[in-house]
Amino acid sequence: MKTSITIIATVLAALALGGCKSTREHLLDSEQSQLALRQIQTKAFDTTDKEKTLRSVIATLQDLQFVIDKADLAVGVVSGTKLSGYQLKMTVTVHPRGDRQMLVRANAQYNITPVTDPEPYQQFFAALQKSMFLTAHDVD
């Protein structure tokens, strides 16, 4: 009787812990295809104005209730945090692609998990293209 409970408990614990990852896996977050994730997180806009793009990113993040944490024009990066019972952190980078487009890449972290679903990023870019008055193009 007692042994069966111990066995069940051990198996359950192993199952539960099996869902958790090693430090290396957490640090590299490499289980998902890098390419697929990058595609989800990146859009191209038909503009060469880096400053305008970054200012639109900042305005969009503020509209989405983020508080801006950091911003740098030279590197082209903006970070913000949204608190709403949860903590959502987001970093957006902007850099030129060719001589006609700017690439915008966003990555987000919800509490302690990376956001890898396409939907939240689609929503973010939908809000951004409204503020940019430009269409967000997919990047292959």
Partner 1 sequence: MSTRIVIPLVLGSFAVLAGCASRIPRDALTLSPESLQVRQLETRRFATKDEQQILTASAALLQDMGFTLEEVNAPLGVLVGQKHRDAVRAGEVIGAILLTLFTRYPVPVDSHQTMRASLVTRPLPSGKETAVRITFQRIVYNTEERITKAEPILEPEIYQEFFAKLSKSLFLEAHQI
Instruction: List the beta bridge partners of residue 76.
Output: none
Classified as helix, coil or strand, 75 is: coil
Neighbours of 43 (CB within 10 A): 24
Contact map string, positions 96 to 115, toward partner 1, x by CB under 8 A:
------------x-xx-x-x
Cβ atoms < 10 Å from Cβ of 79: 16
The least CB distance from residue 32 to partner 1, in Å, is 14
Q: Which two tokens stand for residue 34?
A: 């890098």
Question: Taking CB under 8 A as the rule, does residue 3 contact partner 1?
Answer: no
Q: Would you tell me which residues interact with partner 1 (CB under 8 A)?
A: 1, 4-5, 8-9, 12-13, 15-16, 19-20, 51, 54-55, 58-59, 62-74, 78, 80-88, 108, 110-111, 113, 115, 117, 119-121, 123-124, 127, 130
